[in-house]
Structure 1
Amino acid sequence: MKRNFVFTTSLFILSSLLLFASCGQGNAGEGHQQGPAEVPMATVATGNATIQSEYATAIEGLSNIEIRPQVSGYLTKIMVDEGDYVRAGQVLFKIEDRVYEEQLNQAKAAVATAEANLVTAKINLDRKQELATSKIVSDLQVREAQAAYDATKSAVAQAKSTVASARINVEFATIKAPVSGYIGRFNYRLGSLIAPSNALPMTVVSDNHQVYAYFSLSENDFVAFQREHTGNNIAEKLKNSAPVSLLLSDGETYAVQGRIDAVEGQFNKSTGSITLRARFDNPKGELRSGNTGKIKIERHMENVLLFPIASTVMIQDKVFVYLVDAAGKVAQVPVTVSGKSGNDYMVSEGLKEGDKYIATGFERLQNGMPVVEQKQVENKK
């Protein structure tokens, strides 16, 4: 019995000692405090920025000319094919011209008749004038002969005019390309009855050696565009503007740069935008009317507040940065971004030059946490 009492007492004392030791260690752990987190820091600075803005564009040829007949008739010949490149003056279509040839022949015959009548009237006038000197005929008869001669002379002129008109109709039966360019789709085929009153043109010839790219700027963008370029008027500003690039529908950049050469006279009230036109050379014929793409305009700005995009975080469509205040604590601050330049945001509000910010590693930080700048590790040779 005594031995059991001694064993129990010893076990109690040992347990007490272990409990006391563990409590001592817990209190020591609670008393230990962790220091401020070390993070890489940098300073907000200004610099020069290049903004690249893109605007949707629709491309048109220098001229898209509808080919319409000026006389009526059946289409008898098609001299080209859809998509062909044609030169100005090249024959495209032939309309049945036998009717117009016959009208020309009749007009020529009428001229011959009128000229014969003119000869007769001249002979009669000369004879009357000669007899009038001998007082055989009166002055009234001479004036009548003169009037008849003048009327016959006018008839000759009218007949010649009819010949010229008939010849024009014959020429109109042969339809030629008014400009050099590419032939569009045909709306009529061989045997179709062609007339000036037809609703659709026969085809369209597109002059694409140069093309126009039309795009729109918002009111703010247009104001900025005008302020950026020097000049007393819009024509001088356009002349002093930088070349623009064209992004094709596949995202590739067109090899030839263009220039903005025209601005619409007024803003569109429904969209609040204004249309500009850029002209591009098209020596290889790569661009056609109807192409789409994007106009890329670069704007150069000086003394802009720049901030690395990689040092920001997006929360509910707002951009935040992590600054370090005067007390060395984290401050999560929202900023207003006005654009991008390379890998930087251009910040218009929320920052000032000289602010110290946390470059990386801010994901695990919270507002008010103390931080210190991470020491740079020097490379040892």
Structure 2
Amino acid sequence: MNTGNTIIQKILTQMNVQQIKTNMKMKNVIITSFILALVLSSCADKAQAPAPAAPLLPVLAIQNSDAVTDAEYPASIQGTVDVEIRPQVSGNLDRVLVDEGAYVNKGQTLFKINERPFREQLNNALASLHASEAALINAQLEVDKLTPLVQNKVVSDYQLKTAKASQKIAAANIEQARAMVASARINLGYTNVTAPVSGYIGRLPKKQGSLVSATDIEPLTKLSDVHEVFVYFSLGETDFIKFKTQYAGNTLGDKIKKLPPVTLILADNNAYAQSGKIDMVDGQFDKNTGAITLRATFPNANGTLRSGNTGKIRLGINHDDAILVPQSATIEMQDKVFVYTLNKGNKVNKMPITIIGKSGTNYLIGEGVKSGDQIVLSGIDKLQEGQVIQPQKSTSEVAQIINKK
């Protein structure tokens, strides 16, 4: 009996397991069918979604035009007169009558050296002069006394000749004494150290009470006349040849007269308010640097510029039939500059360009594009090679603004 029950239980258990397996297979079929339906639905949606429209971007046809590019050259600034103030005589510096950085006028006393030794030298020279004058009078009296005696043959003419020789010696002594007086006066005047020109005082290394001498290595100060300033800059041989060929004139002097004004860029990258004029070209190239020096003169009535300032000279260089591309139409990647040109089928092509200058907000192009090529003006940061766009032609007014010089 027990054996029969056991067999029945085994049969029932096998039936349950088989039913469970059947149920699992049905569930898997249902899940797979559901996933497949979702995939097919998604693909159908994608197939039905419209392709994105080509972007509408402005395009400009490049044309040759005249342009002016700016070239900048390092420059140094000097006053029209930069002079060292040095003592001409030795002595103690009694007074310093100016302050560092002060503006002084021509002839104004700057320093006072102790004058007492030089005044005594002048007095001594004057005394010698007076003694010489007295000796000349005495010699003249001797000549006047002997002249009638010789005429009457009372004394020999030898004595008269000796008296006249003494008279000439006395006259020569007077000339010598007068020279000594003049020299003493000059040395006395040197005790007042005055400004040879109007300008600005530099540093004052010597203070009151210092012993100064004409042989001192260091000057008393430096004085700069900066009502106008000289700005010196250099051009290499190639730049100088271009500089000469683009201006009319038979000689270099004629070319200089026809040069346009130049601009001075200060150390803060701002332009100096007034323009300058190139008025000198050095006579020869520096054999060490291979460059030649030019000088431009700038007015400086307000004293804004000082000797020792630095800056840059900006020269305008004319270019005929140049190709200009707006800077905003370029993109830089890995030290190269590119533009997007428009090909057949309105496809864009990323084209490298060579920049040889800058004119306002435009680049002057040497290689990469030519007249007649069309370039994309904006939206280039999102473009890709070969992408199709809808070109929007720039109007003539827009093109003139973009290509303005």
State how 1:80-159 maps to structure 2 within 5 Å.
80-159=98-177
Supply the distance in 2 between the matched residues of 1:331 and 1:85 (Cα, whole angstroms): 64
CA-CA distance at 1:312 after TM superposition: 2.3
> Within 2, Cα distance between the matches of 1:33 and 1:200?
83
Q: Please, what TM-score do these two structures have when normalized by structure 1?
A: 0.84
Q: Structure 2: how far apart are the matches of 1:37 and 1:248?
A: 45
Task: Map 1:144-293 onto structure 2 (within 5 A).
Answer: 144-293=162-311
Structure 2, unaligned runs of 5 or more: 1-21, 395-405
Kept after mapping to 1: 8 A contact 2:60/2:393: no
Deviation at 1:175, TM superposition (A): 1.2
* Alpha-carbon distance between aligned partners in 2 of 1:85 and 1:221, rounded to the nearest angstrom: 39
Task: Measure, in 2, the Cα distance between the counterparts of 1:154 and 1:356.
Answer: 96
Task: Output the CA distance in 1 between the equivalents of 2:339 and 2:257.
Answer: 41
- Per the TM alignment, residue 203 of structure 1 is displaced from its structure 2 partner at its CA by 1.0
State the 1:83 CA deviation: 1.8
Residues 319, 155 of structure 1: alpha-carbon distance in 2 compared, 3 angstrom cutoff: same
Aligned-partner SS, 2:123: helix
Compute the displacement of 1:292 (Å).
Answer: 2.3
More helix by share: 2
| SS at 2:98 equivalent | coil
Match of 1:47 among 65, 80, 89: 65
| Residue 359 of structure 1: aligned partner | 377
Aligned to 1:318: 336
Deviation at 1:338, TM superposition (A): 1.0
How far did residue 342 of structure 1 move?
2.0
Structure index of larger Rg: 2
Residues 48 and 141 from structure 1, CA distance in 2 versus in 1: closer, same or farther, beyond 3 angstroms?
same
Aligned to 2:216, the other structure's residue is in SS state coil
Q: How far did residue 256 of structure 1 move?
A: 1.9
Cα gap change, 1:83/1:41 in structure 2, threshold over 3 Å: closer, same or farther?
A: closer
Deviations 1:158-215 (A, max 9, x none): 1111111111111111111111111111121111111111111111111111111222
Amino acid at match of 1:151: I
Give secondary structure in 1 for the equivalent of 2:369: coil
User: In the TM superposition, what whole-angstrom CA distance separates every residue of 1:214-260 from its partner, at most 9, and x where no partner exists?
Assistant: 22233333222222222222222222111122233333332222111
Rate the CA distance shift 1:66–1:116 in 2: closer, same or farther, 3 A: same
The CA RMSD over aligned residues, in Å, is 3.2
Q: CA separation of 1:126/1:219 partners in 2, compared to 1, >3 Å: closer, same or farther?
A: same
Deviations 1:287-306 (A, max 9, x none): 21122222222334332111
Whole-angstrom CA distance in 2 between matches of 1:359 and 1:163: 85
Shift of the alpha carbon at 1:275? 2.3
- Tell me how far apart the structure 1 counterparts of residues 362 and 271 of structure 2 sit (CA, whole Å): 23
For the residue of structure 1 that corresponds to 2:166, the secondary structure is helix
CA deviations 1:6-38 (Å, max 9, x no partner) are xx9xx99xx7xx88x959x77x959x9999776
2:149 and 2:155 in contact (8 A); partners too: yes
User: Number of aligned pairs?
Assistant: 364
The answer as to whether partners of 2:70 and 2:357 remain within 8 angstroms in 1 is no
2:136–2:170 Cα contact (<8 Å) kept: yes
Structure 1 251/136 Cα, relative in aligned 2: closer, same or farther at 3 Å? same
* Aligned amino acid, residue 277 of structure 1: R
Gaps of 5+ in 1: 377-381
Moved more, 154-163 or 138-147: 138-147
